[in-house]
Chains A and B, each alone.
Chain A
Amino acid sequence: MKLTSLPKARILVLFVLWLALLGLLAMFAPAFFQPAVLRSILQFSTVLALVSLGQALVVLGGGAGIDLAVGAMVSLVAILSMLAVRAGLPGFLLPPAAILLGGLLGLGNGLLVTRLGLLPLIATLGTLFLYGGLALALTGGGPVPGVPAWLFPFGRGTLGLVPWHFLAFVLPVFVLVALILSQTAWGRWVRAMGFRENAARLAGIPVSRVRLLLYVTSGLLAGMAALVTLAWFGSARPNIGQNLELESLAAVLVGGVSILGGAGGVFGVLAAVLFIVSLKTAMQFSNIATTWQVGAIGLLLILVLLIDRRTVRWNA
């Protein structure tokens, strides 16, 4: 089995799924193809895209890497930064504060995994409840209003059909991460340690430091996502990041990143994020009950992995 066959097969599956979805929509719900729907899909993609990128990096880095705390970080960052604003933090400092807070929470995850040697699944499951629980406890479950109004155009406005936060956050960070992964030594280290950790260590790659940085990056991206939710909704909600952990994991796997690490690229993840949001919107559009939509994401995940297994067998 070649190193690259797996992501390629999955990207092909994703491509076929896209065509199937668009074909079905064209046949049965042509009204779906209107500019406002595209705008809506992009609007709802930003938060998932940002946390999925962080998730993708953590998974790529191998060592059973997974970040179940992404959604909880989004919730807690949103709450903490709004509490800070209420306690007197000047409004213009809100964006850097949110991103920085995200980085700190990510650092917590990274330290648990790299310094204490906890299994990432367990460590981030713990912080999923810790961060998520803290967000609820700090607010008693209610929202924290009072986001400065000058932030709203960033969360709600568009340039043409593309929301500002998609332009300002999603596109730059995906391009930047893609460049880092393909052009720099750091990028090669991430793939190398994801593919063969022992070999990477022997080759002198500072595996723990790189891994720590990956969790911090996931936190920074969650902080950006939290900032987007604040600018969009005008208030912080303690459960705003609910379900993001599983949806981001689905996007990462459907997007062609190997769960074992080492293989996959970030643009596949972006395509998968757009697909998942489009699928949800399309099901909504066809008046399929939301209860089925959650199941559909799970089914999609299983389907992709199944096809994946077959492909791997053929290639082996």
Chain B
Amino acid sequence: MSWKKIRIAGVLCGAALLAAAGSAMAAEKPKVAFVPQIVGIPYFNAMEAGGKKAAADLGVDFVYSGPVDTNPVDQLQIVETLLNQGVQAVAVSVLDASSLAPVVEEAKARGAKLFTSDSDAPDSGRALYVAQATDEDLGHTIIDELASRVGGEGTIGIVSGEATATNLNTWISFMQEEAKAKYPKLKLLEPQFAGGTAERAAQIATDLMTANPDLKGIIAVASTTCPGVAQAIETAGKVGKVIGTGYCSPNTAKPYLKNGAMGFTVLWDPSALGYLTVWAGKQLVDGVTLTALNKVPGLSQPVSYDARTGVLLLGKPAVFTADNVDQFNF
């Protein structure tokens, strides 16, 4: 008896499908969606806010939807549904690069644009990648900013997270490259690795200051090491003598920027990234060919586009200081 009912349901379902299959969707405004890696964290909330602002400015319908856990299956399901909804351009902050390829095919078959933002899947066939900042710029900026604050000379300590983290090591190598090329009197100490804990970072930072009384600055490379490094400078009474810095989000760094334990931090502005993502989606829908340098209304600097790699670059990293940190919330 139960089986029969399920069969009836199946038939009804099928009939409904057939009846509605022909109904086409008509959208007045172009629809652009962004799928983050996870919803409910400040970083992606900031991207959403930027996307909303761009949607209002550009006359776009903006959909923001992402998984509750960092689960690639859920993310893929969301992307597929957005395509089925008739969204013309879908941006994804990719969780698993290899899982994107099948939906890229699907998007192409539907005439929709699938592109990546914040995290890329280079070999998936995506339309383009909206990148936040290059590793090179992140490495160079922190050294340039620090050098200008210490007068181009002095000893600098580096506290990183895991020794195996590729992105952190890349940033460190670009720091070393910049220091060597531009600031011969700036001495970068060998990086110390704190793993994932703030306590260990505080310990290492304290030891660095004890071992090097002439230390001028400490760079917290992993975001998890930011509070530890800043607190160590505070506890050692070296505020003003040692400049703390690193790749720290404004919300993490705000108290330390305000009390001087950190001079500045470097990262990118996720709300600008969200803004650029929606702008890029609009260009894809409109079929605009991007040029090497693009003026984006709403963003202060023009954005560069590399047609070979398909990377649309937000620009130089943002520098957060005590003066501007209150404008950001992530």
Contact = CB atoms under 8 A, between A and B. Distances in A.
Interface residues of A, number: 52
Contact of B20 (A26, A155, A290): A26
Interface string A1-39: 000000110011001001100100010001111111110
A145 interface: yes
Nearest to A235: B98
B293 interface: no
A292 B115 CA distance: 26
B23 A38 contact: no
Contacts of B72: 233, 237, 240
A126 B2 CA distance: 36
B80 A40 contact: yes
B317 to A, nearest CB: 25
Contacts of B98: 143, 145, 233-235
B20 A15 contact: no
A15 B9 contact: yes
A284 B16 contact: no
B81 A281 contact: yes
A243 interface: yes
Nearest to A34: B21
Given A30-B23, A40-B84, A268-B2, A291 B68 contact: yes
B42 to A, nearest CB: 15
B81 A284 contact: yes
B16 A289 contact: no
Contact of A271 (B6, B21, B83): B6
Interface string A42-61: 01100100000000000000
A11 B5 CA distance: 8
Interface stretch (B59-67, B144-152, B215-223): B59-67
Contacts of A140: 164
A284 B69 contact: no
A267 B2 contact: yes
A26 B16 contact: yes
A231 B136 CA distance: 36
Contacts of A280: 77
Given A26-B20, A235-B99, A290-B65, A285 B2 contact: no
A280 B21 CA distance: 20
A289 B66 CA distance: 8
A284 B76 CA distance: 12
B69 A243 contact: yes
Contacts of B3: 265, 267
Contacts of A26: 16, 20
B78 interface: yes
B302 to A, nearest CB: 33
Contacts of B67: 290
A240 B72 CA distance: 7
Contacts of A289: 39, 65
Contacts of A198: none
- Which interface residue of A30, A36, A155, A294 has the most chain B CB atoms within 10 A? A36
A35 B96 contact: no
B65 A267 contact: no
A152 B266 CA distance: 42
Contacts of B66: 290
A35 B20 contact: no
Contacts of A22: 12-13, 16
A190 B178 CA distance: 70
B328 to A, nearest CB: 24
Chain A, interface SS category:
helix
Contacts of A293: 68
Contacts of B78: 284, 290
A294 B83 CA distance: 22
Contacts of A315: none
A26 B19 CA distance: 10
A105 to B, nearest CB: 20
Contacts of B63: 287
A240 B101 CA distance: 17
A191 B76 CA distance: 38
Interface in B14-28: 16-17, 19-21, 23, 25
A32 B16 CA distance: 10
Contact of A232 (B13, B19, B70, B102): B102
Given A35-B17, A36-B84, A268 B23 contact: no
B65 A287 contact: yes
A132 interface: no
Contacts of B20: 26, 30-34
Given A267-B2, A280-B77, A233 B84 contact: no
Given A15-B9, A31-B86, A289-B39, A265 B101 contact: no
A258 interface: no
A8 B80 CA distance: 34
Contact of B16 (A8, A33, A268): A33
Contacts of B12: 19, 22
A289 B48 CA distance: 13
A232 B99 CA distance: 7
B77 A243 contact: no
B68 A294 contact: yes
Interface in A279-302: 280-281, 284-285, 287, 289-291, 293-294
Contacts of A18: 9, 13
A242 B71 CA distance: 7
13 contacts: A8-B2, A22-B13, A31-B20, A31-B23, A31-B85, A43-B80, A233-B96, A233-B98, A235-B99, A240-B71, A242-B71, A287-B65, A291-B39
Interface of A: 7-8, 11-12, 15, 18-19, 22, 26, 30-38, 40, 43-44, 47, 140, 143, 145, 155-156, 229, 232-235, 237, 239-240, 242-243, 256, 265, 267-268, 271, 280-281, 284-285, 287, 289-291, 293-294
